[in-house]
Each structure stands twice: as C-alpha cells, then as structure tokens.
Amino acid sequence: MSQLEDLIQKFEEFQQACKSVLPGVARRLIEDLILHQQENPGLEYMYKIEIFTRKEANVNKFKQVILEKTSMIPEVYDSGTHYVVNYKLSLETLKELSQCDPNILEIRGEYIGNIGLKEFEHRYE
C-alpha cells in the first residue's frame, strides 16, 4: 500500500469514527473544532451551532435541553425545526448535544471566535 492509499484509508476511518461517535454532526464542524483545540488547547472556542430537528420535536422541551447543555437559550426558526445558539464548544458538549434527542437530524456549526477565559478571568478578578 502506498503512502497515499494509506492516507486515504486513515481518512475514511476518521469519517467512520465521526459518524459513529458523533452521529448527525457535520464532519467539517468536527474537523474544525479538533484543529482549533490542537492548536491552542487552553482556549475555548466560540461557535454558532445550528441544530436541525424533525417537525415532531417538542420545541419547548428541545429549547430546555439546549439550555441545560449550553446555559444559553437558542433562537428558534423554521416552525421549530432549526435552533441556533452561540456557545463555547467542546467535543464533549457536541457529543452530548448529538445524543440528547432522537429527533435531531443534523448539527452544523461555524467558528466565530475564541475566548481565553483564563486570561479574561484573571483580568477581572
């Protein structure tokens, strides 16, 4: 097996791991979050997270679940099937969100900045 074939095989294994560990989460979000955390493990990164659900999802229940997981109240769009929240995302939180309700169809997100909380907290103590 050539090095390129090995690289392709490892990438396919990564894709399968993403699907099994974080079902419904966009692979680009996972990749982006992992890259940011590897570059600066001490920082927390802000993401705009979009969660898409089936029409059958109970809007109030789902808003409560997101509030419990993120401490943020999500904006709700598209007749209660599209939730948006800005949050300091980690892989652990992403996993909790992806597994919190069977009505979740997809979770997407995009990086919107980082916050060095340790530096911020020391500055205002």
What are 86's strand-pairing partners? Answer: 48
Distance CA 69, CA 64 (A): 9
pLDDT in single tens digits along all 125 residues of the chain: 799 999 999 999 999 999 999 999 999 999 999 999 898 887 888 999 999 999 998 999 989 989 998 899 999 999 999 999 999 998 888 999 899 889 999 999 999 986 554 444 444 44
Distance CA 85, CA 103 (A): 18
Distance CA 58, CA 54 (A): 9
Q: What is the CATH number of domain 3-123?
A: 3.30.70
pLDDT tens for 90-125 read 888 899 989 988 999 999 999 998 655 444 444 444
Query: Contact 22/98 with Cβ under 8 angstroms?
Result: yes
What's the pLDDT at 25? 96
Distance CA 116, CA 118 (A): 6
Helix (H) or strand (E) holding 43: none
* Domains of the chain by residue range: 3-123
Distance CA 98, CA 94 (A): 6
Most distant CA atoms of the chain, gap in Å = 57
Q: Model pTM greater than 0.75?
A: yes
